[in-house]
Structure 1
Amino acid sequence: MSEQIGLRAATAADEPMLYELYASSRQAEMHMWGWTPKQAEPFLRMQWHARKRSYAAEFPNARDQIIVKDGKAVGRCLLAARPTYWRLVDLALQETSRGQGIGTSVLRILQQRAAICGMALRLSVSPDNPALRLYERMGFAHKGGTEMHLFMQWLPGQDIDHMKGELR
């Protein structure tokens, strides 16, 4: 049976899952600091709310979407439209859903939609984030950055061999 990967609009009911997704992305950091889950919880809640406010201020019209696999929520995709490109603000998967091709499928969906609309896709990623290899594999090119974040871009028609036959 073929797995179905898709996107749907996020709702208020998704907030607990979105928080858990965020908190899980910070677990290594909390462990490094020696914090117990009880100690980390208030800090993570504060950081989660600060990040939500920051995203809302910087990307007020961003589309918050839930990544679904066979109807089950497994991640998040936050995409902001700009006049000449789409900015992938956040792409995150639950730890148990990583390494299964879901991120590849979501990026393929975004690239197909961007190609149809003639839009570039841009993102930033930490140099030590394992997703960097995925973005490179999916045709995103390095466009500068800082010590903390690499800026990457994918252009319609650029390195889309993996999409041939899928845009029909």
Structure 2
Amino acid sequence: MPDYGLTLGLYITILSITIGKNISQARNHKVIFLACISLFMEVFPINITLRPATPDDFEFVFRLNETNMRFYVEKMRGWNEEIERKDMKGKFHPGHDQIILVNGERGGIFGVEERPNSYFLQHIELLPQFQGKGIGSKLICRLISKARKRNVPVSLTVLKQNPAIRLYKRLGFSVTGETEIKYEMTVWPNPAP
């Protein structure tokens, strides 16, 4: 069993040195910083599990969506609680959607539609405190791996102003269509050897 106190102490020491450097030197310490984060994640791993959503999860999912999307919706058309609640009732599918549990705590929602010749990522949302920790990437990579085994693409739609576009591009998605407010993005399976 690792010595958590020693490992955490080492992590904090290296992180302090890295943060203490001036900005021009920070780039040189990116590798050390990422190694520290990796070490920290090994010592204090994040346990990600999925469970089927139930009707009782609706309010959680609605508030999650409000937390993450209200800013964008207000810019497009204004936030109307009644309209947004009705919209979410049309999108939320208990038994089909999955609640993302982070160390046993509700942390987000993951919805995938399996089609005959593709997968469609209907939604993935995480509470702000769980964003940027690799959770979304891990779940999407699992989906892409599953799709590659079937030799089918994964597609999704995303608001043009949503910063998640950077994540999707990093994971191999490219823009394959667009509307006035959304991009359609797709990642294709690897070509057969």
Q: Where on the TM-score scale, by shorter chain, does this alignment land: which range?
A: 0.7 to 0.9
User: In 2, distance between residues paired with 1:49 and 1:61?
Assistant: 15
Q: Which has the larger radius of gyration?
A: 2
Where does residue 99 of structure 1 map in the other structure? Answer: 132
Would the aligned equivalents of 2:110 and 2:124 in 1 still touch at CA under 8 Å?
Answer: yes
**1:30 offset after TM fit, Å?**
7.6
Would the aligned equivalents of 2:53 and 2:94 in 1 still touch at CA under 8 Å?
Answer: no
User: In 2, distance between residues paired with 1:122 and 1:51?
Assistant: 20
Where does residue 63 of structure 2 map in the other structure? Answer: 20
Residue type of the alignment partner of 1:15? F
Residue type of the alignment partner of 1:3? I
Would the aligned equivalents of 2:118 and 2:152 in 1 still touch at CA under 8 Å?
Answer: yes
State the aligned residue count: 147
Where does residue 165 of structure 1 map in the other structure? Answer: none
Given candidates 20, 34, 46, the residue that maps to 1:3 is: 46
**1:62 offset after TM fit, Å?**
8.8
**1:87 offset after TM fit, Å?**
0.7
**1:74 offset after TM fit, Å?**
0.6
User: In 1, distance between residues paired with 2:123 and 2:164?
Assistant: 12
Please identify, of 5-14 and 80-89, the stretch whose mean Cα deviation from structure 2 is larger. 5-14
Please identify, of 62-71 and 105-114, the stretch whose mean Cα deviation from structure 2 is larger. 62-71
**1:28 offset after TM fit, Å?**
2.4
Alpha-carbon distance change, 32 to 135 in structure 1, aligned in 2, over 3 angstroms: closer
Where does residue 120 of structure 2 map in the other structure? Answer: 87
| TM-score, reference length from structure 1 | 0.75
User: In 1, distance between residues paired with 2:48 and 2:105?
Assistant: 9
Alpha-carbon distance change, 26 to 142 in structure 1, aligned in 2, over 3 angstroms: closer
Given candidates 99, 108, 127, the residue that maps to 2:160 is: 127
Q: Does 1:51 align with 2:94?
A: no
**1:24 offset after TM fit, Å?**
1.2
Where does residue 101 of structure 2 map in the other structure? Answer: 68
| TM-score, reference length from structure 2 | 0.66
Q: CA RMSD in A?
A: 2.7
User: In 2, distance between residues paired with 1:146 and 1:30?
Assistant: 16
**Structure 1, gaps ≥5 residues long:** 159-168
**Structure 2, gaps ≥5 residues long:** 1-43
Q: Does 1:138 align with 2:171?
A: yes
Would the aligned equivalents of 1:61 and 1:81 in 2 still touch at CA under 8 Å?
Answer: no
Q: Which segments of structure 1 move beyond 3 Å, counting only runs of 4 or more?
A: 29-33
Alpha-carbon distance change, 145 to 2 in structure 1, aligned in 2, over 3 angstroms: same
